[in-house]
Amino acid sequence: MHKSVKDILDKKKTGQKISVITAYDYTLASLCDKAGVDIMLVGDSAGMVMLGYESTIPVTMDQMVLFTEAVSRARQNSLVVADMPFMSYQASASDAIANSGRLIKAGADAVKLEGGKVVAQTIRAIVETGIPVMGHIGFQPQTTTLAQGYRVQGRTADTARTLIEDAKALEEAGAFSIALEMVTSEVSKIISETVSIPTIGIGSGRFCDGQVLVVHDVLGMYDKLKPKFVKQYLSLSDEITKAVSSYRSEVESAKFPAEENWFTMEKSELERLLKEIGR
């Protein structure tokens, strides 16, 4: 049986940290699930690391459904949370309910959407249909990129107060957890101590109840952005480039394939064939 929302809530109650990693495809999701992470987040960061967009803004519901289906087919242990892409929940609560329902039908256990107080009513509407929601405050890639670029959030007392109020509003609306992106460590600590639901930090310091990173950053597979908060545990881009270039040069020099990589006919069948075709 895979993890449930209750298991995630219990982790905060018992003081255990929550591990979250993004996943978008069957193969990597199988490996992340096997590694025992608590949550696999089908993030709309898929738009950048899987589809090559400059931001998450172009990502569509159809694309998120496809990624969510692939990840949920791989999952045996983790909770699967899927991101609601830009404009899938902002226009109306009924859009939000219909689109979150599509992600649940695709195999997600919960959805995540960006915003503070302004999306509290939307979150309440989704939760009332029975769908668990993770909030997302601090740096919000779907909108902050347009307005201000990548910026740490909560450096001043005023912005910090807004973040704390946003977190409380999401908890009151029924969110089961809140992602805190690029929030100062001091403010993340206050929020984590103020709300009873788990906070999941990305670039928000060690006082959050859990941490999330993009799997391509952890594995060193995406070189376009290298934020300070990322810890790279492998350099897969170098390893992959090296492996593919060895393959290319072995194809060019006819070293690959070798005898162990091909199939052969029975000798008698070959002789019969050669006779029949006159060779």
- Please give the structure tokens belonging to residue 119: 């999306």
Stretch that binds ligand KIV, among 40-48, 143-151, 220-228, 245-253 (CB under 6 A): 40-48
Q: Give dist(CA 178, CA 198) in Å, integer.
A: 7
Residue nearest to ligand KIV (CB): 43
Interaction of residue 219 with ligand KIV, rule CB under 6 A:
no
CB-nearer residue toward ligand KIV: 22 or 68? 22
Interaction of residue 202 with ligand KIV, rule CB under 6 A:
yes
> 3-state class of 269 per DSSP?
helix
Interaction of residue 142 with ligand KIV, rule CB under 6 A:
no
From the CB of 122, what's the least distance to ligand KIV, in Å? 17
CB-nearer residue toward ligand KIV: 62 or 276? 62
From the CB of 238, what's the least distance to ligand KIV, in Å? 23
Report which of 175, 167, 113 is spatially closest to residue 142, judged by C-alpha positions: 113
One-letter amino acid at 262 equals W
Interaction of residue 43 with ligand KIV, rule CB under 6 A:
yes
Helices (H), the chain: 5-13, 26-34, 46-49, 61-74, 93-105, 120-128, 144-147, 157-173, 185-194, 215-218, 236-252, 267-276
Instruction: State the number of binding residues for ligand KIV (CB under 6 A).
Output: 11
From the CB of 247, what's the least distance to ligand KIV, in Å? 31
From the CB of 39, what's the least distance to ligand KIV, in Å? 11
Interaction of residue 132 with ligand KIV, rule CB under 6 A:
no
Say whether 181 is catalytic: yes
Write phi, then psi, for 140 (nearest 5 degrees).
-120, 100
Interaction of residue 214 with ligand KIV, rule CB under 6 A:
yes
φ/ψ bin of 36: left (φ > 0), alpha (ψ from -120 to 50), beta (otherwise): left
Write phi, then psi, for 272 (nearest 5 degrees).
-60, -45
Considering the candidates 54, 128, 181, 260, report the single residue annotated as catalytic.
181
One-letter amino acid at 114 equals E
Report which of 112, 174, 104, 109 is spatially closest to residue 140, judged by C-alpha positions: 112
- Please give the structure tokens belonging to residue 60: 């569509």
From the CB of 212, what's the least distance to ligand KIV, in Å? 5
Interaction of residue 181 with ligand KIV, rule CB under 6 A:
yes
User: Which positions are annotated as active-site residues?
Assistant: 181
Which residues contact ligand KIV by CB under 6 A? 22, 41, 43-45, 83, 179, 181, 202, 212, 214
